[in-house]
Structure 1
């Protein structure tokens, strides 16, 4: 019988590109409760999955062999390891270190150290800390914001795919009067609302669910002079027309969640909407695009 807190990790030992590792991670979906591809070192990826009950190793090995054959590559080794009960909240707290990006300082709600001077502090609930600034796409957006704010002020900000709400909060904390933050994931909306409340910014940030960049909450304040969309490359391409329409003449659009090799394709989609690339920010394998609407 599995004890409370116990789990198992299945490791697929690879040294490959991100897309290939993702294919192997997806192959674990039938056998594990959570799957992920992860970076071993820059641009080199592997895959693993976690299960609450002991998974079928022979079944996993069979599926992995099928995937490898389909990709015309050697079958990678698969290992299964038992994990003892872990205090996951304590583990998350331990792993979430403060992040300093430009003038922004992002720290966990569990920390009590004095804040650095001359910064814009943002408190994030560490127990639900996805999108805290440590990821290359989020950090690229924060660096883009820090740079843009040195040149001009923004009155209205839109954050599409807000996650923890960190980008909307950063913009408002740095002096923008108001922001709208939306996400397609209702759990993310709940997390963002809580983080915004913790930072006492709820009176300046409107938060809600939206399936795309043209919902009612977004339309009510459109157009915006600064728009963030930290999602993924394909949705960014599909939404290029609607997102571009949310940007006021002379306004900026910051796009993230795309791999370096996807940047040119995404930029081309927005160039067709009349948008002009201003800057590219590379953070490891991730690229952030800063685009301007002429006017």
Structure 2
């Protein structure tokens, strides 16, 4: 049996992203969530091989020192992959989000009338549909459909398990490019596309953002969806806008409501205008137009 490791540390909401960002490039997936104490939030990351705890703790400590905040202690727990993934996914019931009904094979049944079904199973890629950022993106995409916005050449940047890319193909019946820098995410996204019978419309690609010219060869795009984190979204702003056609739409999520101005400003400088904001809990989804 192979194993995963789960890394956790706690901090206040104001500081939590500092520590998630500090280890993001060295883990398979990372996120943060509120605990039973509303003043304390938890960073949770997963890795495939035994983590270098001294190195990761050093990253946490250096980030704390840079921002002049207390340094949390990083904890690690070994998890059997099959048991952990199975149990984690079974904790989530089917979800109804806008036009979509998202479920795992363990909850397979009749799809409610009028909803679009998407089967997402336990896997090592981030994104099963339950996070508030995914909700915001799915609702925004459905708003576009309701408004009669046409999409011909879309991109899902940082696709994770492929939920948003599949949503685009099911709404507009158009080919979509799904890009992620993690090979496992790309594998799982392709597997999910096959499960949901949209593999003919969904092309998966492993690439570090817009680096090189491989992504540009598919563009420019009239819709880009990116559910990542605020820092990478800001870093990608010039390339994201440059690879969008004039009048094209950009949907951004993975940011907290307090980060809206920061992210919107980065895209305004790059040439995109903020059109709308959708808040789901503490998380925001931005809709912009070039």
Question: Which bin holds the TM-score, normalised by the shorter protein?
Answer: 0.7 to 0.9
Q: CA offset at residue 72 of structure 1?
A: 7.7
Query: Are 2:261 and 1:268 equivalent residues in the alignment?
Result: no
Q: Aligned in 2, Cα 1:103/1:274: closer, same or farther, shift over 3 Å?
A: same
The correspondence for 1:224, drawn from 197, 212, 221, is: 221
Aligned residues of 1:24 and 1:47 also touching (Cα < 8 A): yes
Aligned residues of 1:110 and 1:126 also touching (Cα < 8 A): no
TM-score (norm 1): 0.77
Aligned residues of 2:275 and 2:287 also touching (Cα < 8 A): yes
Query: Are 2:42 and 1:39 equivalent residues in the alignment?
Result: no
TM-score (norm 2): 0.78
Q: CA offset at residue 146 of structure 1?
A: 0.7
Q: Aligned in 2, Cα 1:141/1:11: closer, same or farther, shift over 3 Å?
A: closer
Q: CA offset at residue 225 of structure 1?
A: 1.3
- Alignment gaps of 5+ in structure 2: 24-28, 48-53
Q: CA offset at residue 93 of structure 1?
A: 3.7
Higher Rg of the two aligned structures: 1
Matches within 5 A, 1:63-102: 87-102=83-98
Aligned residues of 2:126 and 2:185 also touching (Cα < 8 A): no
The correspondence for 1:174, drawn from 171, 183, 186, is: 171
Runs of at least 4 residues off by over 3 Å: 4-12, 20-27, 34-38, 41-44, 46-51, 69-84, 214-217
Q: CA offset at residue 111 of structure 1?
A: 2.4
Partner residue, 2:187:
190
Partners in 2 of 1:247 and 1:220 — Cα distance?
12
Q: Aligned in 2, Cα 1:102/1:268: closer, same or farther, shift over 3 Å?
A: same
The correspondence for 1:150, drawn from 134, 140, 146, is: 146
Q: Aligned in 2, Cα 1:91/1:291: closer, same or farther, shift over 3 Å?
A: same
Q: CA offset at residue 43 of structure 1?
A: 6.2
Query: Are 2:118 and 1:122 equivalent residues in the alignment?
Result: yes
Aligned residues of 2:16 and 2:43 also touching (Cα < 8 A): no
Partner residue, 1:112:
108
Q: Aligned in 2, Cα 1:281/1:80: closer, same or farther, shift over 3 Å?
A: closer
Partner residue, 1:54:
none
Counterpart of 1:244 in 2: which secondary structure?
A: helix
Aligned residues of 1:161 and 1:231 also touching (Cα < 8 A): yes
> Could you give the per-residue CA deviations for residues 231-252 of structure 1, whole angstroms, max 9, x where no partner exists?
1112211211111022112210
Partner residue, 1:134:
130
Partner residue, 2:159:
162
Partners in 2 of 1:80 and 1:130 — Cα distance?
19
Partners in 2 of 1:79 and 1:240 — Cα distance?
34
Partner residue, 1:56:
none
Q: Aligned in 2, Cα 1:246/1:87: closer, same or farther, shift over 3 Å?
A: same
- Alignment gaps of 5+ in structure 1: 28-33, 52-58
Q: Aligned in 2, Cα 1:112/1:267: closer, same or farther, shift over 3 Å?
A: same
Aligned residues of 2:121 and 2:128 also touching (Cα < 8 A): no
Q: CA offset at residue 201 of structure 1?
A: 0.9
Matches within 5 A, 1:200-211: 200-211=197-208
Q: Aligned in 2, Cα 1:140/1:73: closer, same or farther, shift over 3 Å?
A: closer
Q: CA offset at residue 22 of structure 1?
A: 5.6
Partner residue, 1:199:
196
